Amino acid sequence: MTFTFTLEAEHGMARAGVLETPHGPIQTPVFAPVGTQAAVKAVEPRELRELGATLVLANTYHLHLRPGDELIAELGGLHQFMAWDGPILTDSGGFQVFSLGELRSLDSDGATFRSHLDGSLYRFTPETSIRIQHNLGADIIMAFDECPVPNDRAAVRAALDRTHGWLARCVEEHHRSGDPARQALFGIAQGGIFPDLREESARFAAEMDLPGYAIGGLAVGETKAEMLATLEHTTPFLPTHTPRYLMGVGSPEDLVHGVARGVDIFDCVLPTRVARNGAALTREGRINMRNRQYAADPDPLEPGCTCYTCRTFSRAYIRHLVKASEILAHQLLSIHNLHLLLTLMREMRAAILGGTFTDYANSFLAAYQPVGAQKGALSIPAS
Amino acid sequence: MTFTFTLEAEHGMARAGVLETPHGPIQTPVFAPVGTQAAVKAVEPRELRELGATLVLANTYHLHLRPGDELIAELGGLHQFMAWDGPILTDSGGFQVFSLGELRSLDSDGATFRSHLDGSLYRFTPETSIRIQHNLGADIIMAFDECPVPNDRAAVRAALDRTHGWLARCVEEHHRSGDPARQALFGIAQGGIFPDLREESARFAAEMDLPGYAIGGLAVGETKAEMLATLEHTTPFLPTHTPRYLMGVGSPEDLVHGVARGVDIFDCVLPTRVARNGAALTREGRINMRNRQYAADPDPLEPGCTCYTCRTFSRAYIRHLVKASEILAHQLLSIHNLHLLLTLMREMRAAILGGTFTDYANSFLAAYQPVGAQKGALSIPAS
């Protein structure tokens, strides 16, 4: 049955499972590369497949504006349009709309905003977001929610009430005009950094009996410690038999910490954005390929890595491509960075299945130097 | 033996042959994709291989400035550096230097110029150009020449004398410090659009008994009719038993006209540059993928084309990628455009071997609409 989630193993809060979708199974924990505009930047679909990607994310806001979800529906839907025959997830467009700042105004019914492309006026409501996502045709679609500043209690409280009302409307619209066997609607629990609000929101969402739930409103300004503490007291209030999705999170250390706190699904632009900035993710941390130290370095980006980039090219060559502003630099670094995250997820899954997750996670974090933080500054919950 | 050129068939002036190199055979006529900075823009080496590319060009001027030919030599040479294990050709750097305009000054011994990257001062002589090309390690290297405005007889005359003197110095330097079994030095015949000067230069170069010859100084401002007339009265004065290389030419119609006039090797940035401008080459002409007419077009760029792009994506999707400034647009259009030119070369080769080249060429030109010209405005010489 589509959207059945089978929990295969648990290790502390960490879980390994399989989510069935109309476009194949997703083994969890999973990292979803982001194809904002129906394309993972600088990576071909056949390369995503080669990297072992299963789930790919696309953005409702961007695709509604350009080329238009109705056009994509006419052309057979997002899978056919972007030539990705694996599972796809679309967000609700809410986060992008709220990020527009002065270009949008919010009311209890929805949001009115101006396109960042040409200034023309648009309106999203829970119902329009769901109908746009029906047109796009992703396997997993998301409820329309409001994502407030996470540490302003009054704002979080108000957003929570709005988000809950909208969630009920999304569920209703999806059952009215959608096909729950073809597309799974995930709810989103909000609540900022406030444990009681998180619990309330997780419980409210869980009441809807949906095939999956996201933890929203994190990685938007709070500290890492606040994010992890919030995760720890949110996931216990979400159902165990459905997948949990932490939106917009994807640094290597955050993936490990998220899995350790019961998250099953992640997405983030980080690996491809970092690539376009000329940096490589390695198991020791991020390295800036513009650095002179790599100028004559014959080693691959990460010795031992099995990705096409590392099997084929030296750091010296990649540095040259970055310095020379060659598009190929974006391609090769994106392949490597995605490979690291996808491999990390597979390794964590194997460790959960093998009962060694805590050791694996601690060992990874001991070697990994996060940007602007100390190695292993945040710890893995005891299993 | 390396650099043996075996002529397999002739049809009128058109020829099919095989040039042996230390990195494998090159079946001619051949089109060489250009990797100016040791990378074919937006195309991975494994994709070049999949496209059936054999010979790839890289630019001496660019690589001398960045990352430096000595660094590339330290790292094992250009093949290893850019991970292309097929044949490579480097130009002499002359054309780029002369294109710098006010940034360079010329004397009888060589050229002094300022880097377009940081303004620092450099000097190229025939000897330094050859030694840089030794460091790069391409299979085919080019003599340092001067490329004047093609219709100023006095300038062409003066450049010819200089070019001939420099050719002799290049040959001497290559034998002194190089390895002619590892790298073939090609001479370059100049002479602008003047038949007597072309004959003189072709005869002079041929006297050097080199493994190949280029026809230089074309496609630099003269009309197409002048270019083709010049080709027609130049190739007969070049040896028949060595390959002939027309530098910097690569529109589909020019490839057909060039082969019809006895050219064996071509290179050009056109297919990848056109791709980055959002246009596709087809057998009917160039199409601008920004055009609204493709917005909902489910067909591939060119129906019947077997390239990855056409097997996988619609015009509507490619148009979306172009409009959305996605890097993937450059990748997919570059693959298709290179595929068309490489396929065209293979088809011309088969037609020469099959004795049907004139029909093939006329048929191709009757269907193909060149930019800014009428279909079939220039004709194929009778065979």
**CATH number (domain holding residue A15):** 3.20.20.105
Same structural domain, A209 and A330: no
Task: Give me the total of CB pairs closer than 8 Å, taking one residue from chain A and one from chain B.
Answer: 110
The pLDDT of residue B182 is 98
Q: Report how far apart, in Å, the C-alpha atoms of A117 and of each of A91, A122, A230, B147 are.
A: 19, 12, 35, 46
Q: pLDDT truncated to tens, each residue of chain B (383 aa)?
A: 689 999 999 999 999 999 999 999 999 999 999 999 999 999 999 999 999 999 999 999 999 999 999 999 999 999 999 999 999 999 999 888 888 888 889 899 999 999 999 999 999 999 999 999 999 999 999 999 998 888 999 999 999 999 999 999 999 999 999 999 999 999 999 999 999 999 999 999 999 999 999 999 998 889 999 999 999 999 999 999 999 999 999 999 999 999 999 999 999 999 999 999 999 999 999 999 999 999 999 999 999 999 999 999 999 999 999 999 999 999 999 999 999 999 999 999 999 999 999 999 999 999 999 998 888 888 898 77
**Residues of chain B positioned with their CB less than 8 A from the CB of A63:** none
Is residue A18 in some structural domain? yes
Is residue A285 in some structural domain? yes
Residue A145 annotated as catalytic: no
Residues of chain B numbered 220-259 and touching chain A (CB < 8 Å): none
Q: Measured between CB atoms, which of B41, B75, B324 is closest to A298?
A: B75
Mean pLDDT value of segment A223-249: 95
Pairing of strands B14-21, B5-11: antiparallel
The average confidence (pLDDT) of chain A is 96
Domain end (from A251, A268, A285): A268
CB–CB contact A320 B67 (8 Å): yes
Same structural domain, B168 and B223: yes
Is residue B26 in some structural domain? yes
Q: Report how far apart, in Å, the C-alpha atoms of A152 and of each of A94, A149, A165 are.
A: 19, 6, 20
Residue A81: which of B128, B280, B298 has the closest Cα? B298
* Buried/exposed code over B244-270 (b: 16+ C-beta within 10 A; e: otherwise): bbbbbbbbbbbbbbbbbbbbbbbbbbb
The pLDDT tens digits of the residues spanning A273-300 come to 999 999 999 999 999 999 999 999 999 9
Judged by a CB distance cut-off of 8 A, whether residue A295 touches chain B is yes
3-state DSSP helix/strand/coil % of chain A, to nearest 5:
45, 20, 40
pLDDT > 90? residue A245: yes
Q: A25 pLDDT band (50/70/90 cuts)?
A: very high
Same structural domain, A208 and A90: yes
**Residues of chain B positioned with their CB less than 8 A from the CB of A75:** 296, 298, 314, 316-317
CB–CB contact B328 A41 (8 Å): yes
Q: Measured between CB atoms, which of B39, B45, B313 is closest to A326?
A: B39
Same structural domain, A128 and A260: yes
CB–CB contact B308 A46 (8 Å): yes
Mean pLDDT value of segment A192-198: 95
The pLDDT tens digits of the residues spanning A86-140 come to 999 999 998 888 888 888 898 999 999 999 999 999 999 999 999 999 999 999 9
Residue A283: which of A368, A382, A169, A175 has the closest Cα? A368
Same structural domain, B300 and B356: yes
Same structural domain, A220 and A129: yes
Q: A148 pLDDT band (50/70/90 cuts)?
A: confident
CA distance B308 to chain A (A): 9
CA distance B296 to chain A (A): 7
Mean pLDDT value of segment A130-157: 95
pTM of this prediction exceeds 0.95: yes
CA distance B135 to chain A (A): 15
Tokens of B81: 């550096």
Same structural domain, B262 and B282: no
The pLDDT of residue B374 is 86
pLDDT > 70? residue A1: no
Range of the domain at A164: 5-268
Q: Measured between CB atoms, which of A41, A67, A295 is closest to B327?
A: A41
Alpha carbon of residue B112 to chain centroid: 25
The pLDDT of residue B298 is 98
Q: Measured between CB atoms, which of A38, A41, A313 is closest to B320?
A: A38
Same structural domain, B199 and B94: yes
Is residue A382 in some structural domain? no
Q: Measured between CB atoms, which of B75, B295, B331 is closest to A296?
A: B75
CA distance A293 to chain B (A): 13
Residues of chain A numbered 83-102 and touching chain B (CB < 8 Å): 83
**Residues of chain B positioned with their CB less than 8 A from the CB of A43:** 328
Domain end (from A210, A242, A268): A268
pLDDT > 90? residue A368: yes
CB–CB contact B314 A71 (8 Å): no
Report phi then psi at B188, rounded to 5. -130, 125
3-state DSSP helix/strand/coil % of chain B, to nearest 5:
45, 20, 40
Same structural domain, B244 and B290: no
Catalytic residues of B: 91, 267
Residues of chain A numbered 296-335 and touching chain B (CB < 8 Å): 296, 298, 308, 312-314, 316-317, 319-321, 323-324, 326-328, 330-332
Same structural domain, B169 and B74: yes
**Residues of chain B positioned with their CB less than 8 A from the CB of A321:** 37, 39
CA distance A317 to chain B (A): 6
Q: Measured between CB atoms, which of B38, B74, B314 is closest to A75?
A: B314
Is residue B54 in some structural domain? yes
Residues of chain A numbered 27-46 and touching chain B (CB < 8 Å): 37-46
Domain end (from A239, A268, A297): A268
Same structural domain, B160 and B258: yes
Is residue B377 in some structural domain? no
CB–CB contact B328 A44 (8 Å): yes
Based on the structure, what is the number of domains in chain B? 2
CA atoms of A139 and A21, how far apart (whole Å): 6
**Residues of chain A positioned with their CB less than 8 A from the CB of B37:** 320-321, 324, 326
**A120 contact partners, CB below 8 Å, separation of at least 6:** A114
Is residue B290 in some structural domain? yes
The pLDDT of residue A32 is 98
- Give SS3 for A231: helix
Alpha helices in A44-152 (DSSP H): 45-50, 60-65, 69-74, 78-82, 94-98, 126-136
- Choosing from A69, A91, A145, A264, which is the catalytic residue? A91
**Residues of chain B positioned with their CB less than 8 A from the CB of A316:** 67, 71, 75, 81
Tokens of B265: 């090797």
Alpha carbon of residue A251 to chain centroid: 11
Same structural domain, B187 and B335: no
CA distance A329 to chain B (A): 9
Q: Measured between CB atoms, which of B38, B74, B330 is closest to A327?
A: B330
Is residue A372 in some structural domain? no
